[in-house]
Structures are given as C-alpha cells and as structure tokens.
C-alpha cells in the first residue's frame, strides 16, 4: 500500500526579472508502507519543493498528491497527527537544553511528558538531554530534530537531507537511526543528493 503518492506534479517559481524556473515538471512518486525510501537528486532538482508541497508548506501548480490516502494539502489536517517531518535545518532555542526544547514542543502538541524521554532514548541523546543545544554538534542537532519529528509517534516520517553537513560518523549514526525507526514500523521518506 502506498502511503505517499504524487502524480503529474508541477511547480514553477516566478521571480521578477528572471525567466520562470520549473522546480517540478510532471513528477510521479509512490512510496510504499514501511522501510526507508530515498528521494535522490542533485541540489536544485526539486526535492525540497516536493516535500514542502506534500507537507502543505508550498502549493503545487498542478497534479495530485496524497499522504496516508488523504489528498494534500486539502485533507492534510486529517492526517497531520500521523506525520512527522524535518524540512531544512531544525530550529531550537540554543540556550535551552535538548530536553526543554522537546518538552516545549510536546506541551504544544498536548503530548505526555514521558514521550520526551522516549524520543531522546530513540535518537541516542539521553546522556546529553540536559546540555544546552548551543553546545550540541551538528549531528546531535540533527538527531534532536528527528526526535522532535518523532514526538507524535508518526506513521510516516519525512526528512529533507537529514545527513547534510555531517561527518562520516554522523552520517552513519543518522542512517542507523532511520533503519531502526523503519524496523519499528515507521515509513521513512528522505531526500538526499548523496547517492551513497
């Protein structure tokens, strides 16, 4: 069963004084339930644009898209609680601890406080949970971003370049984490310009 579908999606950016730029030109995509699915392409190929359209952050010019069987963006509110996403760089309050940042997000979503410790464990940040985010490495911030996206126990996790800017060890950590999430039943769709 496909949990994410896109058919004939077009998106063109128009900027004053420049020719139109077609970011998506009839894109078709089908992501089956379960596993880790890579959406690969060079920088500037429209990966982020598609993910933003799927999450209702940008509007496609034409075509059809759905997540968990619901048309997006129109019916996205019906399934938004079953989707976790991390598009572009995660934003946190640097002087606050990782735990406090996640606690604020959990409170805003009316999630139990215990879920914060659960996701910190999942992403391997339990030992650094009470450290300030401004002292986190880039890899730790990415894992904290994934933890934030996991707070609501999503069925589908959408990540835009989750290993961008990481050293080889950080990339390995993120890949292992995503594999664990998929093994636990979460469908993961990630974009990347790195074929490996």
Average pLDDT over residues 164-188: 87
What percentage of the chain reaches a pLDDT higher than 90? 73
Residue 31 domain boundaries = 2-192
* End-to-end Cα, the chain, rounded Å: 27
Task: Report the C-alpha gap between 55 and 66 in whole angstroms.
Answer: 10
**Domain count across the chain:** 1
Residue 65 · residue 58 · CB < 8 Å: no
Average pLDDT over residues 38-63: 93
User: pLDDT, tens digit, for every residue of 36-45?
Assistant: 999 999 988 9
**What are the strands, taking DSSP E only, across 41-195?**
62-67, 70-71, 83-86, 156-160, 187-192
Task: State the CATH number of the domain containing residue 158.
Answer: 3.40.50.300
Average pLDDT over residues 177-195: 90
Higher pLDDT, 183 or 171: 183
User: pLDDT, tens digit, for every residue of 122-159?
Assistant: 888 999 999 999 999 888 898 899 999 999 999 999 99
Per-residue pLDDT at 196: 67
Task: Report the C-alpha gap between 113 and 100 in whole angstroms.
Answer: 10
> CA of 146: how far to CAs of 48, 75, 176, in Å?
17, 24, 13
User: What radius of gyration do the chain's Cα atoms show?
Assistant: 17
Q: Residue 179: enclosing H or E segment and its boundaries?
A: helix 168-183
The model carries a pTM of: 0.90
Task: Report the C-alpha gap between 30 and 36 in whole angstroms.
Answer: 13
């Amino acid at each position: 069963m496909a949990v994410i579908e896109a058919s004939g999606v077009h998106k063109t950016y128009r900027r004053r004084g420049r020719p139109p730029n077609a970011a998506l030109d009839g894109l078709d995509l089908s992501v089956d339930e379960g596993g880790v699915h890579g959406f690969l392409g060079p920088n500037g190929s429209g990966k982020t644009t598609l993910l933003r359209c799927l999450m209702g952050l940008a509007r496609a010019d034409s075509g059809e898209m759905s997540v968990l069987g619901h048309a997006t963006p129109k019916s996205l509110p019906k399934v938004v609680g079953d989707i976790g996403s991390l598009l572009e760089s995660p934003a946190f309050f640097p002087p606050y601890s990782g735990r406090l940042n996640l606690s604020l997000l959990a409170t805003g979503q009316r999630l139990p406080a215990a879920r914060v410790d659960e996701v910190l464990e999942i992403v391997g940040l339990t030992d650094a949970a009470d450290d300030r985010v401004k002292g986190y490495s880039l890899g730790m911030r990415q894992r904290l971003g994934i933890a934030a996206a996991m707070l609501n126990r999503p069925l589908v996790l959408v990540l835009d370049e989750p290993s961008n800017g990481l050293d080889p060890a950080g990339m390995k950590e993120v890949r292992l984490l995503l594999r664990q999430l998929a093994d636990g039943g979460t469908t993961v769709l990630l974009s990347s310009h790195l074929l490996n």
